[in-house]
Amino acid sequence: MTENLQKDQKFIQDVFNKVYSKYDLMNDLMSFGIHRNWKKQLITTMNPSKDQSLIDVGCGTGDIGKLFSLATNYKSKILSVDPNSKMIDEGKKRLKKFKNIEWKVCAAENLSVKDQTFDFYTISFGLRNTSNKKKAIAEAYRVLKNGGRFLCLEFSKIENPSLEYIYKKYSNLIPIFGKFVVGEKEPYEYLVKSIENFLNQDELISLMIDKGFKKCAYRNLSGGIVSIHSGWKI
C-alpha cells in the first residue's frame, strides 16, 4: 500500500467499517492504554471553560468529546463529527448519557457547519486519514470563531534513533494483533503505512501557518510517537 491509499476514501471507509466494533479495544491494546493519557493531555492543553464550544473531527467513538464534556462539567456545546456512520452509531451508544454532545456524519474536508461557530477544533489521529489535509485545515480555520484554537493530536516522528528502532519493530506486530483480535489484518497494515507516510512536526506547522493560523507550536509526547499541534485564529 502507498500514499495513494490515503486518497481513496472508499478504501478508508472500508477500513473503519471492518474495525468499528472493536476500535476502542484495539486502541487500548496497541498503545497499552497510553492513548488515553495522550487524549487527557490534549484536554489539559485546551483548558476549556464552561459554555465554550468544541467541534471534534474524526471523532471515532467520541473519546475527546467525552473528556471535554467532563472537563466543563457538561456545560459545553460539543459537535462530534466523523465520516463513518458506524463509528458515529457506536459513539452514540457509548455516550448516550452525554446530552451536550451532538453527532454528525461528514468529512473533515467538507464540514456542514457555519463559519465562526466553535471555540475549539480538535482532530485526533484523524488528519492522516483525510484525502486533502490542506482543505481539512482550511475548514478548521473557517469554522473556528475569531480567537478560536486548533489542536491536532497525531502520530508524529520520533527523534531518538533507539526509540524509533524499537517502535518500528513493534509496529510490524500491529497487523498481527489486528488479525487475532478483530479478524482483519489489512486495516492495521494501512494504519502502520499511514503513520510512516504522515507529515513530520515542522511540516504540519508549515501547513497550519499557510492556512492562516498564528502562534503555531507543537509538543511531543512519548518521545515524539505522537505530538500535539496547536494554532490560533487571530
pLDDT tens string 56-75? 999 999 999 999 999 999 99
Across residues 43-52, what is the average pLDDT? 95
Summarize pLDDT for 109-122 with one digit per residue, the tens.
999 999 999 999 99
pTM of the model: 0.88
Q: What is the pairing mode between strands 101-105 and 226-232? A: unpaired
Beta-strand ranges (E) seen in 6-143 are 53-57, 77-82, 101-105, 118-124
Exposed, middle or buried: residue 136 (CB in 10 Å: 0-12, 13-18, 19+)? buried
Three-state DSSP class for 166?
helix
Determine the Cα–Cα distance for residues 63 and 136; give it in Å rounded to an integer: 20
Domain ranges of the chain: 3-232
pLDDT at 222 over 50: yes
User: Does residue 154 come out as left (phi exceeding 0), alpha (psi in the -120 to 50 range) or beta?
Assistant: beta
Which overall architecture, per CATH, does domain 3-232 show? 3-Layer(aba) Sandwich (3.40)
| Mean pLDDT score across all residues of the chain | 89
